[in-house]
C-alpha cells in the first residue's frame, strides 16, 4: 500500500480501494519515508479505520502523542471488552481509552496517583465494566510493565460504560451521581442493604442507568395509560410511595418531570429489588 501522508516515524495514512483513510501504526514504519512511497505490509503493523470524520481527525492528532505499543495494548483491551459486554462499542472508545491509558502511565511513572472518588459507586453500578477495567490493568502490566492502581480500573470502567451508552465522560459522571442518589433514596426508604449479586438488583441498576441518562439528556418516555399506573400504585403501595419521593427529588434538583409510564416502571423495579433481594 502507498503512503498518502506521514504522521510521524510510527504512523502513516493510507487510502484503501474506496479512497477511505486508514491509519497504519508500527514502530519506525515511516522512517525516511514520504507521501507516495510504498509501505510493505507487515503482520506487526496495526491498521485503524474510523468512519466518523471528526473521530479520524482526533485519532490522527492523538497518534502524534502516544506510543505504538500503547495503541496496540488499547486495541487488545477493546477486543477483550467487546467479547465481555457482547455488544458493539463506540469507535470513539479507541481515542478516549488510548489517551487515558497514555496519561495514566505517564502519571504513574512520575509518581502521581489520581484517586477515584467514585470508585465505590463504579464497583456497585458497573460491575462488569469494572471487572474489564481490572483485566485491562493486568494486560497493561503484562505488556507495558507498568502497574496502575485500582483507581484506574474505575476510570477505565467509565470509558467502557460511556462507549455502551454513547455519552461523553462528563455526562457519565452525572449519570453515576444520579444513580447513587436514587439508589440511596430506595435504600433509606426501606432501611435495607442491597444484595448486589441478585439478578433483580442488576435489573434495577440497569433501569437506573438508562433513567439517569434520560434525565441528563432531557428525554422522557411517552406518557402511558394512567389506568396502568393506578393498578401498579394499588398493587405496590410502598414502592410507589418511594417513587413519589424520587419524583419530588428529581423535579426539584434536575427539573425533570416523571411521566406515568416512568413512574410505573420505577415502581415495579423498586418493588422487585426490595422484596426479592432485601437484606435488613
Separation of alpha carbons 269 and 86, rounded Å: 24
DSSP assignments along 122-189, one per residue: HHHH-HHHHHHHHHHHHHHHHHH-----HHHHHHHHHHHHHHHHT--HHHHHHHHHHHHHHHHHHHHH
**Are residues 80 and 155 both part of a single domain?**
yes
Query: What is the pLDDT at residue 245?
Result: 96
For the record, the C-alpha cell of 253 comes out as 434538583
The answer to whether residue 57 sits within a structural domain is no
For the record, the C-alpha cell of 90 comes out as 463506540
Report the domain count for the chain: 3
Which band of pLDDT confidence, cut at 50, 70 and 90, is reported for residue 280? very low
- Element (H or E) spanning 244, and its range? helix 237-254
**Are residues 77 and 157 both part of a single domain?**
yes
The answer to whether residue 79 sits within a structural domain is yes
Separation of alpha carbons 46 and 22, rounded Å: 10
Q: With beta carbons less than 8 A apart as the criterion, state whether 28 and 9 touch.
A: yes
Query: What is the pLDDT at residue 24?
Result: 86
The answer to whether residue 58 sits within a structural domain is no
Give the CATH number for residue 8: 2.30.24.10
Mean pLDDT of the chain: 87
The answer to whether residue 212 sits within a structural domain is yes
- Element (H or E) spanning 53, and its range? helix 53-63
**Are residues 250 and 209 both part of a single domain?**
yes
CA nearest neighbour of 72 among 152, 164, 143: 143
The boundaries of the domain holding residue 236 are 181-277
Which band of pLDDT confidence, cut at 50, 70 and 90, is reported for residue 20? confident
Radius of gyration of the chain (CA): 23
Residue with more model confidence, 68 or 242:
242
Is the pLDDT reported for residue 190 higher than 50? yes
Query: What is the pLDDT at residue 278?
Result: 56
- Numbers of helices and strands, H then E, in the chain: 11, 4
The answer to whether residue 175 sits within a structural domain is no
The answer to whether residue 60 sits within a structural domain is no
Is the pLDDT reported for residue 166 higher than 80? no
Is the pLDDT reported for residue 76 higher than 60? yes
The answer to whether residue 273 sits within a structural domain is yes
DSSP assignments along 80-114, one per residue: HHHHHHTS---THHHHHHHHHHHHHHHHHHTT---
**Are residues 78 and 162 both part of a single domain?**
yes
- pTM for the whole thing? 0.73
The answer to whether residue 171 sits within a structural domain is no
**Are residues 151 and 214 both part of a single domain?**
no
Give the CATH number for residue 95: 1.10.1790.10
Q: How many residues does the chain have?
A: 280
Domain end call among 135, 166, 197: 166
Amino acid at each position: 500500500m502507498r503512503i498518502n501522508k506521514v504522521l510521524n516515524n510510527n504512523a502513516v495514512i493510507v487510502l484503501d480501494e474506496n479512497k477511505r483513510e486508514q491509519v497504519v501504526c508500527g514502530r519506525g514504519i515511516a522512517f525516511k519515508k514520504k507521501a507516495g512511497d510504498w509501505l510493505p505490509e507487515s503482520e506487526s503493523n496495526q491498521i485503524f479505520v474510523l468512519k466518523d470524520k471528526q473521530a479520524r481527525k482526533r485519532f490522527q492528532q492523538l497518534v502524534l502523542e502516544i506510543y505504538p505499543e500503547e495503541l496496540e495494548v488499547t486495541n487488545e483491551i477493546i477486543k477483550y471488552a467487546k467479547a465481555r459486554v457482547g455488544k458493539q462499542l463506540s469507535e470513539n472508545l479507541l481515542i478516549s481509552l488510548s489517551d487515558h491509558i497514555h496519561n495514566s502511565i505517564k502519571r504513574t511513572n512520575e509518581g502521581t496517583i489520581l484517586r477515584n472518588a467514585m470508585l465505590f459507586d463504579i464497583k456497585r453500578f458497573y460491575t462488569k465494566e469494572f471487572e474489564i477495567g481490572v483485566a485491562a490493568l493486568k494486560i497493561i502490566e503484562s505488556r507495558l510493565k507498568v502497574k496502575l492502581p485500582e483507581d484506574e480500573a474505575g476510570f477505565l470502567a467509565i470509558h467502557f460504560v460511556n462507549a455502551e451508552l454513547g455519552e461523553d465522560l462528563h455526562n457519565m459522571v452525572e449519570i453515576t451521581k444520579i444513580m447513587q442518589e436514587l439508589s440511596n433514596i430506595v435504600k433509606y426508604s426501606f432501611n435495607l442493604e442491597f444484595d448486589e449479586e441478585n439478578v433483580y438488583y442488576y435489573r434495577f441498576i440497569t433501569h437506573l442507568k438508562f433513567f439517569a441518562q434520560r434525565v441528563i439528556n432531557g428525554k422522557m418516555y411517552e406518557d402511558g395509560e394512567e389506568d396502568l399506573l393506578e393498578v401498579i400504585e394499588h398493587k405496590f403501595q410502598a414502592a410507589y410511595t418511594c417513587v413519589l419521593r424520587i419524583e419530588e427529588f428529581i423535579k426539584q434538583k434536575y427539573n425533570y418531570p416523571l411521566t406515568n409510564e416512568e413512574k410505573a416502571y420505577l415502581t415495579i423495579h423498586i418493588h422487585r429489588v426490595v422484596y426479592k433481594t432485601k437484606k435488613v
